[in-house]
Amino acid sequence: MTLDAIQKLLLIQSLEICDSSGLLLSSENRRQATLQSGIQPEESKLKRLESSQIEFLHQRANRLHAFLSNESLFKTISLPPAVPRAKGLGILIIVIAFILGLFSNQLGNDQFINLVAFPLLGLYLWNLIIYVLFLGKWLRHKLHPMPENHYFFGLLPHLLYQVHQLFQHRKLRHPHLTPVENKEQLAFQIRSHFLMKWIKLTAPIQLCQITFLLHLGASVMAMGVIGGMYFNGISFEYKASWQSTFLTPAALQQGLEILLGPASMLSNIGIPPGQPLEALRRPDATGENAALWIHLFTITTFLYIVLPRILLSSFSYQQLRSIQNSVQLPEDILPYYQETALQLKDSQSIVVIPYAIPLEINNRELLRKLLCRLWARAAKTEFQDPIPYGEETSFFELSANPSSHVVLLLDFNATPEKDAHGRVVQEIKQQLMESSADNPFLILLDCHRFEKIRELPEFEKRFQERKNAWETMFCDMNLPCFIFDNIHTTDMNEHLKQARNAVWTNSR
């Protein structure tokens, strides 16, 4: 897939995740887009997506994007370019680099070129350090390829995302409201969710672009230095001389032959031997005309800086093109693809049966969002009236709703009792086993009320004891359970992973 197509797919994925209430995309809109996209996905547990399945997601995203194109709220979700445009920035860097090089005056300010400590020497050493670092990075990558979750590709996108969050929050009038109550907040959540994924996905591309521009800018700056040396040489007369406390003329000659030797060989300009160099030693000598030395420095600058930097920029550009053509879809695309299969089936609902637990509005919405992402995000979620403690037999009859996903909602704060909680669980399990439908069943323990004692010194100890008590009871009943621990982690993906592992069916 092209970057444009991947961007559109990730945007639609983010929209479907954030718009669980169907404000922009209803259940029927999503179902129709799935049916009309040419290929019907299967629910089998895939390890990777085939090309036909990726094409299905591409076509489905195009249909949903076209459907949403006239929505005013959707239009407010402006996106960055799929391929970051660096042409204007590149031209600016080239111009600035050339001007800096041109006016850097690398020959010195007193019209004397010190052959021992000329300003260009620092430039050569800096570029040598860059070459060593580049070579070390290349060797490390060959021996130990850098993983996708390397700190650079994790920390930098996270920082950029947080900056975006900061500026976007200032634009919202009521950032604390839920998406249903505030359309601005929905657009903000969609864009934020998308950007976090997109910045992380394109971080290697942007790094290659930056590397390419820096190498190109360094080569152009070196060209500017060359131009500046000749411009100053034409405008002023420079003298070449040297002085040193420790170096002898013979030692200086050896150093110059090492540094300027390649340029000397190419230009047939010889390095003076020891005795002529002694005649250039200050303060007794007035120096000689520096024209030949400027020619040597120019060729050396071209060999040590301009040519290598051009080669490195070409390498970075080829690496950039390779990365752009081999961008991999994020890992969560596979479960996203599998969940679209549920939209091809008969309409299903999620039935939540609270037992001895009061449901606050905010907590109800959080649970609804979690369950809608767990089972067909567009599915309808029904919260039944809570079953009071002591009335364990007065709950719904499963036979009245054979296609339901059943969730028993328990209070983590309560003390687990086999005669109460266990009785409700066994009754629902028995109905599910007697049903011909293979209804998914999830026991969900809500930690919301337990958070009220979070400030107590023994909170962690009491939390672990209560967790062990619940897990022990359900382990004895051969049933998994999902502890919705929104106290220790707010990572919804981690909650989803745990919830999927805790779903029970007849076939399990």
Write the single-letter amino acid at 271. Answer: I
Does the structure show a pLDDT above 70 at 68?
yes
Against a cut of 0.85, is the pTM above it?
Answer: no
Residues 135 and 237 grouped into a single domain = yes
Backbone angles phi, psi at 329, to 5 degrees: -65, 150
Average pLDDT over residues 124-128: 94
Query: Does the pLDDT value for residue 417 go beyond 80?
Result: yes
Q: What's the chain's average pLDDT?
A: 81
Q: Strand, helix or coil at 37? A: coil
Q: Which of 56, 82, 108 is the last residue of a domain?
A: 82
- Is 436 strand, coil or helix? coil
Amino acid 187: pLDDT: 82
Q: Is the pLDDT of residue 154 over 50?
A: no
What's the CATH code of the domain at 449?
Answer: 3.40.50
Going across the sheet that includes 441-446, the strands are 380-383, 349-354, 404-411, 441-446, 482-484
Total domains in the fold of the chain: 3
Strand 349-354, strand 288-289: pairing: unpaired
Q: Is the pLDDT score of 151 beyond 50?
A: no
Instruction: Flag whether 507 is in a domain.
Output: no
Q: What is the mean pLDDT of residues 64-73?
A: 83
Q: Between the CA atoms of 92, 93, 95 and 100, what dihedral angle is there, to the nearest 10 degrees? A: 140
In a domain, 233, yes or no: yes
In a domain, residue 358? The reply is yes
Q: What is the pLDDT of residue 145?
A: 67
> How many CB atoms lie under 10 A from the CB of residue 345?
11
Establish if 334 belongs to a structural domain: no
Angstrom distance (rounded) from CA 372 to CA 26:
13
If asked whether residues 299 and 359 sit together in one domain, one would say no
Position 331 in a domain? no
CA distances from 359 to 154, 234, 243, 382 (A): 37, 85, 85, 13
Q: Give per-residue pLDDT as tens, 10-43.
A: 999 999 888 877 778 877 788 778 777 755 555 4
159 and 250 inside one domain: yes
> Is residue 72 located within the same domain as residue 104?
no
Do residue 399 and residue 318 come from a single domain?
A: no
Q: How many helices (H) and strands (E) does the chain have?
A: 17, 8
- Same domain, yes or no: 288 and 152: yes
For helices 151-171 and 183-235, the axis angle rounded to 10 degrees is 120
| pLDDT score of 379 more than 60 | no
Decide if 462 is inside a domain.
yes
**Do 103 and 53 lie in a common domain?**
no
The verdict on 376 and 300 lying in the same domain is: no
Taking residues 85-104, what's their average pLDDT?
A: 87
The DSSP secondary-structure symbol of 342 reads G
79 contact partners, CB below 8 Å, separation of at least 6: 7, 11, 191, 194
Same domain assignment for residues 175 and 191 = yes
Q: Are residues 56 and 107 in the same domain?
A: no
Range with lowest mean pLDDT among 136-145, 189-198, 225-234, 389-398: 389-398
Identify whether 332 is part of a domain. Answer: no
Q: Which of 82, 117, 147 lies at the terminal end of a domain, its last residue?
A: 82
Maximum mean pLDDT: which of 191-200, 290-299, 335-344: 290-299
Q: Is 392 a member of any domain?
A: yes
Domain that holds residue 45: 3-82
- Same domain for 174 and 106, yes or no, is yes
Please write the tens of the pLDDT for every residue from 164-187.
Answer: 555 554 444 334 434 345 567 788
Q: Which of 82, 102, 137 is the last residue of a domain?
A: 82
pLDDT tens digit sequence for 306-347: 999 999 999 999 999 898 888 888 888 888 887 776 665 545
Residues 18 and 138 in one domain: no
Which among 330, 336, 331, 329 is positioned nearest to 13, based on CA atoms?
Answer: 336
